[in-house]
Structure 1
Amino acid sequence: MSDGEQHDASDSEVNAEGSVEKQPAPFTDEQMQMEIKCKTSDGGVINVRVSHLLQSSVFKNMWKDLDMSPKDLEEFEFKVNVETNIFSKVVEWMGEHIGKEDPKIEDDPATRQRKPLAFSEYETDFFKVGVEEIANLIKAANYLDIKSLYYSGCQALANVIGNKTPEELRELFGLEDDLTEDEKADIRRRNMWFNLIYFYIPLHNISKMVEIREESSQPNNSGQQPNNSNVQRKTPMEFCKEYPNDVLAFGLRLATLYFVICYILPITDSKFQALAYTKAFAAVAATNAFRLHQRLRAVNWPFFSQMFLYELMLEDSAHYLLYCMIFVISSPITLALLPVSIYAIFNLIATLNKFSTETGIAHNSFIISRLVQFKQQASPNMLSTAACAEIFLLPIIILMIFMGKASLVGPFVYYRFLTMRYMSRRNPYTREMFSQLKFIFISWANNPSCPTFVSSSILKFIALIERLAPQQVAM
């Protein structure tokens, strides 16, 4: 710091204690209750307490720039470029937020998306107005620089339009539809798979989802397929000899799908159908135990040491071993077969793709090429559906306790499984689905048509889930 800067700083401190006051004097409790005349843009006059107006950065800066003292309150007139009806709502908002901190804008570390703001009961009721009025409140908050109202107003407007279809948005904002019915029918036809599941996966996140490749036990495998023109073709027998682990996993996954089909469809006798549920999870457990053995061979820590167990619990295969143990000993839940079936299909196609590339039959097999194309297009939807099913299994297990079909330990063990899936190093879809479900439920809670007690219950439930969620994601 230079001598001049030190001198200025010293003067500032002297002035702060002396008779000359450059900063506005603090208000006493009595002065905080005094009212200031506020003149609106349409000629209205509203008397507003000083304690309310101090939430406006415009008012505070004006008070500071004019070098005014609390004695000037009686003669001061604050002009606001806001209509009377809107400004009265702004005053009401400021009255309810005296002494409260402004909402913080945060990003979810798991999804790197902005967290939606959660509203109190008062704030939910406050924004149960039309879109035009919300927009005017946002403009007023921006003009007066009231951060709490500005951020909350933007969130309220996002909640209003978040769950609406394009047709509803056009009607809401008076926009013309520039597509013909034939053009829209063609778009729906080309996106048929997406239309089946778009009700819980927003469009802007589908494009961000990445394909999950099965981890290889071979260190040199980068996940890239070799160039077909430079690779010597193998016979199917040579492929089986070179990749015995993949062949064994392929057989176990085929067995998984076979038992799932036998359980769901009445194609076998009733006795075998009853056993197919357990056999399906046994096949899944064998697959994941085999994959876990491959993954942990490279770990140098002693068995059953703390670091070895830590590495073990980070592996997705260990998660699904626990998953199988939970459902093998409980009453059958058909939904529990959905995630393991999806992963079996996903990895079966990956193995078929590898087989076709190594043996050179990719161009001669229409079925394999179509399956590979399906995997490339639908893998985000498949993995998101599996994650969604895993999440909704928890309330089902809790309900089964009251029906006498599940033990009291079940929800606690399954909660541990969900936390491990949330912290998965390879698969971000559980975190994505929790984020999307949170956004959807907050939108419902902040919807003007949602009853207050329902909105309050949803927000409390979301707060409970956030307290139970892991604080860090394993890398």
Structure 2
Amino acid sequence: MVDIPSGSESLVLDSRVFTMAPRTFGNIIKHLPQEIGELLRAGGRNAGEYLKSPRRSSQHWSWPVGMSDNSAGGDSNAGNDSGTGGNTQANGGTQRPNTVLNFMLSNKVEAALWLTRIFTVVCSFLFIFPILGGNPYGFYQRALISNAATSALRLHQRLPHFQLSREFFGLLFLEDSCHYLMFSLIFMNGYPITMAVIPVFLFALLHACNYTKNILNVMGPDSLQFMRKLIDKLQLQQINILRFIACTEIFIMPAIIFMMFAGKCSFFLPFVYYKFLSLRYTSRRNPYCRTLFTEMRLTVEHFTATPSCPGIIRTACLKAIAFISRLSPPIPQ
């Protein structure tokens, strides 16, 4: 037997422990599904903060007030718990200030895409207009490398899970980001071509303007009005810019052929660029290359149908149309 000490050192067992314990554990079991649901909604990173929050710890898991020997002290503790919960709720309701840095950190991938596009715009501008001096070829390479990084990052957004399968590579070559990743790799180490920088520059400018407008909205509705007006004017001309980009993509092909005969590019470059142009022709999201080919064919056919057109030119144009039509890839439905 175990002797229980008597006197001042005796162990006093409060009978209220046994009467209140069933209600306490019943309260725990009752609110357990709700706690599990809130924990799952909190997510991976916020789960630890949720488990440590005073509001959560005092919401369903605190002992009843009657468990305390001193009821006044229990009321005081309950008041402290409710006050702590109120303070926590007030602190939880406050959010971080909506600054540009917080906006960019909220989506780091989009912010990285914006920075690479801005760098592409700057390097392309400095290559076309060498106002800072230096070697223009360095800016040419930096613009294409930055565009390749942008395309690779955007491609990872579109197809995040890489697979070694025919279906995956079929989807890969349907993406415009893959097309311009290929475009950058084609011209990166070759002879600098100004026409090759124009599509890269304009695409980066258009996409950077969209994110810049979001940043201006975070800064305030009246911030940098001149920048907002420039972006609005640029977006109004978006279709014309996309048509100009498609026209540039088409006319790079004859420029490459002339450069091949001049000895300024590889013999294989026209064949590689033909593959790029075929991908642009079958693009799902950008039909302007296909539209420009159709419009140019109709224009040439209309010109050759006029009586004033010489017979030699008419024959050459019709043969060129037939040759290009045979090279055009089938359009996926």
Compute the displacement of 1:311 (Å). 1.0
- RMSD over aligned Cα atoms: 1.7
- Shift of residue 233, structure 1, vs aligned partner: 8.2
Matches within 5 A, 1:107-146: none
Does the 8 Å CA contact 1:362/1:368 hold for their aligned counterparts?
Answer: no
Aligned to 1:240: 104
The alignment of Structure 1 onto Structure 2 pairs a total of residues equal to 238
Is structure 2 residue 122 aligned with structure 1 residue 263? no
> Which of 358, 363, 370 does residue 229 from structure 2 map onto?
370
Aligned partner (choices 257, 262, 265) of residue 403 of structure 1: 262
Q: Is the 8 A contact 1:260 1:276 kept in 2?
A: yes
Q: Are 2:216 and 1:352 aligned?
A: no
Give the CA deviation at 1:269: 3.2
Please tell me whether the aligned partners of residues 422 and 473 of structure 1 are also in contact (alpha carbons under 8 angstroms).
Answer: no
Structure 1 partner of 2:167: 307
TM-score in terms of structure 1 length: 0.48
Give the Cα separation in 2 of the matches to 1:268 and 1:372: 25
- Find out whether 1:330 has 2:190 as its counterpart: yes
Structure 1 residues without counterparts, runs of 5 or longer? 1-231
CA distance in 1, matches of 2:322, 2:97: 57
Aligned partners of 2:156 and 2:116: how far apart in 1? 15
- Comparing 234-243 with 452-461, greater Cα deviation is found at 234-243
Matches within 5 A, 1:136-175: none
User: Which amino acid letter does the alignment assign opposite residue 253 of structure 1?
Assistant: R
Comparing 441-450 with 363-372, which one deviates more in the overlay?
Answer: 363-372
Report the 3-state secondary structure (helix = DSSP H, G, I; strand = E; otherwise coil) of the residue aligned with 1:314.
coil
C-alpha distance in 2 between matches for 1:362 and 1:407: 52
Query: Shift in Å at residue 368 of structure 1?
Result: 3.2
2:173 counterpart SS class: helix
Work out which structure has the larger RCO, using CA pairs closer than 8 Å and 6 or more positions apart in sequence.
1
> After TM superposition, which residue ranges in structure 1, 4 or more long, deviate above 3 angstroms?
none
- Write the deviation string for residues 404-441 of structure 1: whole angstroms up to 9, x where unpaired: 01111111111110111111111111111111111111
Secondary structure at the counterpart of residue 237 of structure 2: helix
Supply the AA of the counterpart residue of 1:351.
Y
Match of 2:151 among 288, 301, 311: 288
SS of residue in 2 equivalent to 1:270: coil
Determine whether 1:339 maps to 2:199: yes
Partner of 1:275: 138
Q: 1:376, 1:421 → 2: CA distance?
A: 22
Equivalence map 1:198-213=2 (5 Å): none
CA contact (8 A) 1:260 1:341 kept: yes
Q: Counterparts in 2 of 1:30-179, with a 5 A limit?
A: none
- Indicate the structure with greater helix content: 2
**8 Å CA contact 1:233, 1:360 repeated in 2:** no
Residues 355 and 451 (structure 1 numbering): CA distance in 2 closer, same or farther, change over 3 Å? same
Distance 1:331 1:455, change over 3 A: same
Offset from partner CA, 1:374-411 (integer Å, 9 cap, x none): 13310000000000000000011011111001111111
Amino acid at match of 1:314: L
Q: CA offsets, 1:433-456, max 9 Å, x none?
A: 111111111122112221111011
Q: CA deviation at 1:237?
A: 1.6
CA distance in 1, matches of 2:187, 2:205: 20
Tell me the amino acid that sits aligned with residue 120 of structure 2: T
Query: What's the counterpart of residue 3 of structure 1?
Result: none
Cα distance in 2 between the residues matched to 1:339 and 1:280: 11
In 2, Cα distance between the equivalents of 1:234 and 1:450? 65
TM-score by length of 2: 0.68
1:317 and 2:177 aligned? yes
How far 1:260 moved relative to its partner? 1.2
Equivalent in the alignment of 1:435:
294
Q: Which letter does structure 2 place at the counterpart of 1:361?
A: G
Report Cα offsets for 1:278-328 as digits up to 9, x if no partner. 11101110110111111111x5xx622111111111111100011011111
CA contact (8 A) 1:419 1:470 kept: yes
Q: Is the contact made by 1:363 and 1:369 (CA closer than 8 Å) also made in structure 2?
A: no
Distance 1:458 1:233, change over 3 A: farther
Give me the whole-angstrom Cα distance separating, in 1, the residues matched to 2:134 and 2:222: 42
Matched with 1:250 is: 114
Q: Once the two structures are aligned, what percentage of the paired residues are identical?
A: 35
Instruction: Determine whether 1:361 maps to 2:192.
Output: no
Counterpart of 2:183 in structure 1: which amino acid?
Answer: Y
Question: 1:463 is matched with which residue: 317, 322, 328?
Answer: 322
Larger radius of gyration: 2
Specify whether residues 276 and 350 from structure 1 end up closer, same or farther in structure 2 by C-alpha distance, changes over 3 A only. same
- What is residue 17 of structure 2 aligned with on the other side? none
**How far apart, in 2, do the equivalents of 1:322 and 1:369 lie?**
33
Judged with a 3 Å threshold, the aligned counterparts in structure 2 of structure 1 residues 296 and 450 are, in CA distance, closer, same or farther, namely: same
Does the 8 A contact of 2:216 with 2:223 survive in 1?
A: no
